[in-house]
Amino acid sequence: MIDLLFLISLISIILLIFNKKEFLNQYILIINASCWFLLSAIFCLFSLPVAKLFPMLFQIYSVLPTSFVLPDYFFIDTINIYFLTLTALLYLGISIYNYHFITSSDQPIERKNFYSICFIIFVFSMTGLILSTHLTLLWVFIELSTLASTFLIIYDKSKNSLEAGWKYLFICSIGIALAFLGIILLTIGLGHNHSLFFKDLYKMAKSINPFWLKTSYIFILIGIGTKMGLAPVHTWLPDAHSEAPSPISAMLSGGLLNVAFLGIFRVHKLMILAGQKTLTDNLLMLMGFMSLFVCAIYMFKVKNYKRMLAYSSVENMGIIAIGTAIGGIGFYAALLHMLAHSLTKTSLFLTAGNMYQLHHTKIINKVTGLLKNYPLNGYLLLLGFLSISGIPPFPIFITEFYIVKGFLQNNQIFYAVSFVFLITFIIAGMGIKIFQMLFKKSSEDKIKVKLPFSAYITQIVFFALLIILGCYMPDFIHKLIVYSSFSL
């Protein structure tokens, strides 16, 4: 059944190559994303966490092959089904907003067509990365995601976007090369058994040479950590996210960073099984707190609101890394935080896209009176700030509370205090910028522009989901996260 995901993407790409019509570019992503979401929902329904709740579904799950073409290389397990379902939800929401983006774009049809093709390849690469059962295959899909997303970042071919695209390609290519070197070092540590399938690696974890395993992990963590946007290898992220079209910024922040974390998690689990938990936890904790520190510094200095959201993504990837290092309740919090951050940051970047259309600038000081002049956009921005700041009833409050609780359970008082201080500092810096754009009086009268409802529907739905999750956690989502937590 996994093969259908790849087949749908292939058919969509072929249609775009041989049929360069405006109509097709407007709707192809919505159709592709709808099929992708439907299939992912079916996979989730028949996955182990959900199927165990229903005996009939569990019987089907136990005999249903996940892939007919390459069953050994692609598989759905208790951890990647969570990433697959979340990415599918984001893709569907972003594709709906993308209809507004494409129809309002003044780029020629050939460029729009190439944009749609690269978008589908980008999602295809993330799908392959999520479902890969082999470490080298996972690396190949990381490389593919870099190439496809580079062309998306430079869509409008402005000077800044070209510079951001080249910076992204250069830094991420170095990171991916380091990750590949880590894989080579891991094969040395394996000795005569060179299987890089995750199930084989986990079985023989204890027999891997500790020196080569630890050395390879450092290279892989730095390499894939570059794609995840963890400090100090995050430097591509603020430029790429701020210069890319808003649908791409949303997909990079809400989707790609999560998927890169899955790659890190796969190797993190190997380290734990090999008895190297202290090293992997310490490195993740270090990069997590560095990410918070970098964001805290730049949040007060940033002048571009999309760049501000990009630094917020660095912060939240740091929180996920910290939760993973804590383990137990911390890892549960990390997975829930991933869901909450993805929905929130996707909504914020799409709202930022509206702001750029309304004000024709990304400079914070030039955006004023947003609540008065454009109430719907203003309230969506305010909701986004409240959600990303962890204000109840939004679920990020719960995730950050659980992380602090995890610190206290491990008697890591200094870490708990530092975490709360840095988070508070970041919220204060971001709040100053957000409130300035919302409430500062405009110095001049501006001609109001009316955007279609398609520019707002995704954000409205995502914020509604966030409020529901903060007030009431559906049982199947809780069990999905719990079973994913058991994967550690």
Q: What is the mean pLDDT of residues 67-72?
A: 66
At residue 63, the pLDDT reads: 47
Query: What does R_g of the chain's alpha carbons equal in angstroms?
Result: 22
When pLDDT is cut at 50, 70 and 90, the band that residue 438 belongs to is very high
CA distance 6 to 126: 11
Which stretch of 70-79, 161-170, 352-361, 444-453 has the lowest confidence by average pLDDT?
444-453
What tokens appear for 300 in the block?
């007060």
Encode pLDDT of 396-421 as tens digits: 999 999 999 999 999 999 999 999 99
Predicted confidence band of residue 488 (pLDDT cuts 50, 70, 90): low
Which residue reads 């005569």 in tokens? 192
Mean pLDDT of 138-160: 91
Token pair 């930022």 in the structure block, residue: 352
For 452, residues 6+ apart whose C-beta sits below 8 A from its C-beta are 100
Tens-place pLDDT, residues 20-54: 788 888 888 999 999 989 988 887 776 655 555 55
Q: What is the pLDDT of residue 160?
A: 87
Type of residue found at 183? I
Q: What is the pLDDT of residue 411?
A: 92
Is 388's pLDDT higher than 80? yes
Q: Which two tokens stand for residue 119?
A: 């978008």
Predicted pLDDT at 62: 47
Q: Tell me what pLDDT residue 26 has.
A: 82
Separation CA 419–CA 432 (nearest Å) = 20
Instruction: Determine phi and psi for 304, rounding to 5 degrees.
Output: -110, 125
Residue type, 190: L
Closest-CA residue to 455 (of 362, 352, 365)? 352
Average pLDDT, the chain: 89
For 278, 295, 323, the CA distances from 287, given in Å and listed in that order, are: 14, 12, 12
- On the question of pLDDT at 442 being above 90, the answer is no
% of the chain exceeding 90 in pLDDT: 66
Say whether pLDDT at 444 is over 60.
Answer: no
∠ CA 199-204-206 to the nearest 5 degrees?
A: 130
Q: So what's the pLDDT on residue 486?
A: 67
Predicted confidence at residue 52, as pLDDT, reads: 59
Q: How far is CA 102 from CA 12, 289, 347, 376, 418, in A?
A: 17, 38, 18, 21, 44
Beta bridge partners of 134: 197
Q: Provide the CA 363 distance to its chain's centre, in angstroms.
A: 25
The Cα 385–Cα 373 span in angstroms is: 19
pLDDT over 90 at 340, yes or no:
yes
In this structure, of 49-53, 286-290, 427-431, the range with the lowest mean pLDDT score is 49-53
CB 319 within 8 A of CB 449: no
Residues 6+ apart with CB under 8 A from 43: 1, 2, 76, 81, 84, 85
**24: how many CB neighbours lie within 10 A of its CB?**
18
Query: At residue 460, does pLDDT exceed 90?
Result: yes
CA angle 363, 384, 346 (to 5 degrees): 85
Q: What is the pLDDT of residue 319?
A: 96
Average pLDDT over residues 85-94: 94
In the prediction, which pLDDT does 40 show?
86
Lowest mean pLDDT among 58-72, 294-308, 425-439: 58-72
* CB-count burial class (<10 Å; 0-12, 13-18, 19+) for 156: middle
**CA 273 – CA 336 distance, rounded (Å):** 24
pLDDT above 70 as % of the chain: 93
What distance in Å separates the CA atoms of residue 152 and residue 456, rounded to the nearest whole number? 22
- Alpha-helix runs per DSSP H in 300-412: 305-326, 329-359, 370-373, 375-388, 396-409
In contact, 396 and 344? CB cutoff 8 Å? yes
pLDDT tens track for 104-116: 888 888 888 999 9
